[in-house]
Amino acid sequence: MGKLIDVSMPLSSTVPIWPGDTLFAYELTWTKEESGSVNVGQITMSTHTGTHIDAPFHFDSQGERVLELDLDLYAGTALVVDVSGRDCVRPEDLESERLDGTQRVLLKTNSWKDRSVFPVRIACLHESLAPYLFEKGVRLIGVDVPSVDPLDSKELPAHHALHGKGIHILEGLVLDDIEPGKYHLMALPLPLKEGDGSPVRAVLSR
């Protein structure tokens, strides 16, 4: 396996968050001077900050929580596909790709240009993508935007359609410098027992 390429958003007080959601904060509970031995930090954040996964519980109250998710979903071969320029990604946009046998597909929409602010508009996934990807054997879909649905959607058709086909969701990847093609992905969630989502450190290697 080659060198790891980081495709995660750095977490700091300036990381853009979903409007109205909890701001990211890191602070020291005790400085080395105060404790006499060590600096000890604490973090406060929404589970949907930066590069993260959605557990089905995020949009389905009966759905699985983070700790119940199969870790194998988040580690293994992944195909990076360039779908930039599409408003809504549909099966025909993926027809020329060799998806068969790829359990993980990462879509490079290039629609979140300024990572210092939360986007106003992003490319989304059409719900018909779910049965198409399912037929191809895909189990994880990753995107370079904060959501697989339009930002103002309440019904979340893509989230539900993907979940209905057992396809899990990874959001907020940084794919700007990644050439389309086949990689090895690792993006493991934290072992949050009741979590509806989790930040991940997502990496690719050739």
Give me the residues that bind Zn ion (CB under 5 A), please.
48, 54, 147, 171
Q: Which is nearer to ligand KYN, 138 or 146 (CB)?
A: 146
**Minimal distance, residue 108 CB to ligand KYN, in Å:** 18
State the DSSP code for 72: G
Q: Which is nearer to ligand KYN, 46 or 110 (CB)?
A: 46
As a whole number of angstroms, the distance between CA 126 and CA 143 comes to 13
| Widest distance between CA atoms in the chain | 62
**Residues marked as catalytic:** 58
As a whole number of angstroms, the distance between CA 129 and CA 190 comes to 28
**Minimal distance, residue 149 CB to ligand KYN, in Å:** 6
Q: For Zn ion, which residue has the nearest CB?
A: 48
Q: If you search the block for the tokens 């946009």, which residue do you land on?
A: 93
* Residue 135 touches which of Zn ion, ligand KYN, none (Cβ within 5-8 Å per kind): none
Residue 164 is inside which H or E element, if any? Answer: helix 157-164
Does 126 count as an annotated binding residue?
no
Q: Which is nearer to ligand KYN, 145 or 183 (CB)?
A: 145
Does 160 count as an annotated binding residue?
no
Does 168 count as an annotated binding residue?
no
Q: Which is nearer to Zn ion, 111 or 147 (CB)?
A: 147
**Minimal distance, residue 147 CB to Zn ion, in Å:** 5
The Cα angle at residue 33 between residues 31 and 36, in degrees rounded to 5: 105
Instruction: Extract the tokens encoding 205.
Output: 């290697």
Q: If you search the block for the tokens 């410098």, which residue do you land on?
A: 177
Does 112 count as an annotated binding residue?
no
Does 171 count as an annotated binding residue?
yes
Interaction site with ligand KYN (CB under 6 A):
18, 21, 46, 48, 54, 58, 147, 149, 156, 171
* Per-position b or e across 22-48, b if 16+ CB within 10 A of its CB: eebeeeeeeeeeeeeeeeeeeeebbbb
As a whole number of angstroms, the distance between CA 87 and CA 36 comes to 55
* Residue 46 touches which of Zn ion, ligand KYN, none (Cβ within 5-8 Å per kind): ligand KYN
Which residues fall in the annotated binding site? 18, 48, 52, 54, 159, 171
Which residues fall in the annotated binding site for Zn(2+)? 48, 52, 54, 159, 171
